Amino acid sequence: MNTRYRYLIGSLFAVSLLLAAKGGVQAAQINIPAKPAYMGSAACNGRCHDPWYQAWKNTPHAKTYELLKPGVRAHAKNKGKLSPNADYTKNPNCLRCHTTGYGQKGGFIAGETPISSVMPDMEAVGCEMCHTARGGNQAMAFMKETDGVFKRNKIEVWGLRYDYENVCRRCHGHPKSPHKPSIDPKYSFNYKARKNHVHDYEKYYNELNKTQTYKIKHGAGVTEKHPLMIEDWDVVEGKIQFKKLPLWDGWLIYKGK
Ligand code: HEC
Ligand code: HEC
Ligand code: HEC
């Protein structure tokens, strides 16, 4: 792309942001640069989000890989017509929802990614499965770009997202989930009831980490009101394939009105 063209696109983008700011939802598009990658959850610990990691580590989301092993939750597997003694740990039909970034850049690779019971990372439903769009995040880029002032509407341009209820449905209630409410009503999904169990970070704040993102107001993001499309996927000949979204190459559009 030559410079003039780039400038033109840049101006169009600025204009659309202006319109969006004035409430013109038709222009609610953001440009997410095309190089996101998954970093894993362990990277969020020991730096900026220790209490969140510590809290998450003790929740079912941090142990989702375990469920794919033979014999684990045999009763539930039986009930759901899954085979209780099969090894699903390399099965592409399960890994998208039970690990982080499976089939995408930097994400989980069956048979290669290390598994740890002490420091869960890629082998879990990690931070990035709920907090990012389009294949991971660009933490280094937005740290630099925002000068450490993490306003939501600024960092979501780099792939962070705040349409949480929408994002849960990447997995909970997704059409490809084998865990249908018709099998067991406990699989139906109520966001308000469940969101409080995601990471109860308050308990993990202490003298050492209290300077980290504690009750900081980050302002409102655009994605809160205009949920992003969910990256959809399919398994074709034993391999996961992500469906192209409209304008996939660099743009995500909001599903809003
Ligand atoms: C579309 C996403 C998705 C796919 C694909 C998926 N799972 Fe799950 N799995 C989930 C979610 C979400 C839950 C939690 C359900 C809940 O608590 O309502 C879950 C829960 C489970 C549980 C615990 C169920 C219980 O009642 O205790 C097992 C076991 C499991 N999955 C195994 C598998 C296996 C094996 C596969 C592949 C054959 C698979 N899953 C594919 C999303 C998925
Ligand atoms: C299952 C989805 C999910 C996972 C996994 C998850 N989070 Fe969250 N996170 C949420 C939701 C939902 C909220 C908003 C909670 C609310 O509004 O009460 C949130 C809020 C946050 C916030 C506050 C953001 C803000 O701008 O106010 C931080 C920081 C955070 N999470 C960090 C993490 C870290 C670090 C991890 C991984 C160790 C993680 N989260 C894993 C769903 C998730
Ligand atoms: C990448 C897939 C994925 C995403 C995204 C996801 N979950 Fe889950 N969730 C799972 C799996 C798999 C389990 C099963 C854990 C188990 O049964 O041990 C689960 C379990 C849970 C549980 C524990 C089940 C229980 O015992 O009550 C809660 C609560 C939950 N999810 C809430 C959420 C919320 C809220 C969001 C969105 C902010 C979300 N999840 C997003 C995959 C996901």
pLDDT (tens digit per residue) in 149-194: 888 888 887 788 899 998 999 899 999 999 999 999 999 999 999 9
Return the best residue to mutate from 44, 125, 130, 163 for the ligand 2 pocket (most ligand atoms within 8 A of CB): 130
Ligand positioned closest to the Cα atom of 40: 2
Residue 256's nearest CA partner among 78, 23, 59, 36 is 23
Confidence of residue 145 (pLDDT cuts 50, 70, 90): confident
**Across the chain, which distance is largest between two alpha carbons, in Å?**
62
Q: If residue 29 lies in a helix (H) or strand (E), which one and from where to where?
A: strand 29-31
What pLDDT does residue 257 have? 40
Given the structure tokens 């319109």, which residue do they identify? 19
What is the torsion angle, in degrees rounded to the nearest 10, for the CA atoms of residue 209, residue 214, residue 216 and residue 220?
Answer: 120
What six digits make up the tokens of 109?
């690779």
Q: What is the spatial distance between Cα 30 and Cα 163, in angstroms, rounded to a whole number?
A: 14
Dist. CA 56 → ligand 2 center (Å): 9
Q: What is the spatial distance between Cα 167 and Cα 197, in angstroms, rounded to a whole number?
A: 15
Q: What is the spatial distance between Cα 10 and Cα 192, in angstroms, rounded to a whole number?
A: 39
Q: Does the predicted model carry a pTM greater than 0.85?
A: yes
**Domains with residue ranges and CATH for the chain:** 35-246 (1.10.1130.10)
Confidence of residue 9 (pLDDT cuts 50, 70, 90): very low
Burial status of residue 65 (CB atoms within 10 A of its CB: 0-12, 13-18, 19 or more): buried
